[in-house]
Amino acid sequence: MATGNASRFPIIPAGIGTITPGSYADLLLVLGDPLDDIGTLFSPTVVIKDGQVVVDKR
């Protein structure tokens, strides 16, 4: 449910699930591909919550 396709689901409010101006911005940026190694999600490089950077390990 964390993709642009999920944002088209009728019960999901507009602005959720896409990275566009005016959308809600909760992002988790990781080094590597979580599809190859789910463990990358446990050590994010950048976390953005409500449009504000709350973790920045760059």
d(CA 41, CA 30): 7
Q: Would you say residue 3 has pLDDT above 50? A: yes
CA distance from start to end of the chain: 27
Give residue 26's pLDDT band: very low, low, confident or very high (50, 70, 90). Answer: confident
Residues 6+ apart with CB under 8 A from 2: 17
Give a yes or no: residue 47 inside a domain. yes
Give a yes or no: residue 15 inside a domain. no
Give a yes or no: residue 39 inside a domain. yes
Question: pLDDT above 70 covers what percent of the chain?
Answer: 66
Host domain of residue 40:
22-58
Q: Would you say residue 52 has pLDDT above 50? A: yes
- Count how many Cα atoms sit within 13 Å of the Cα of residue 19 in the half-sphere of its side chain: 8
Give a yes or no: residue 10 inside a domain. no
Give residue 49's pLDDT band: very low, low, confident or very high (50, 70, 90). Answer: confident
Give a yes or no: residue 55 inside a domain. yes
Give a yes or no: residue 17 inside a domain. no
Q: How many domains does the chain have?
A: 1
Give a yes or no: residue 13 inside a domain. no
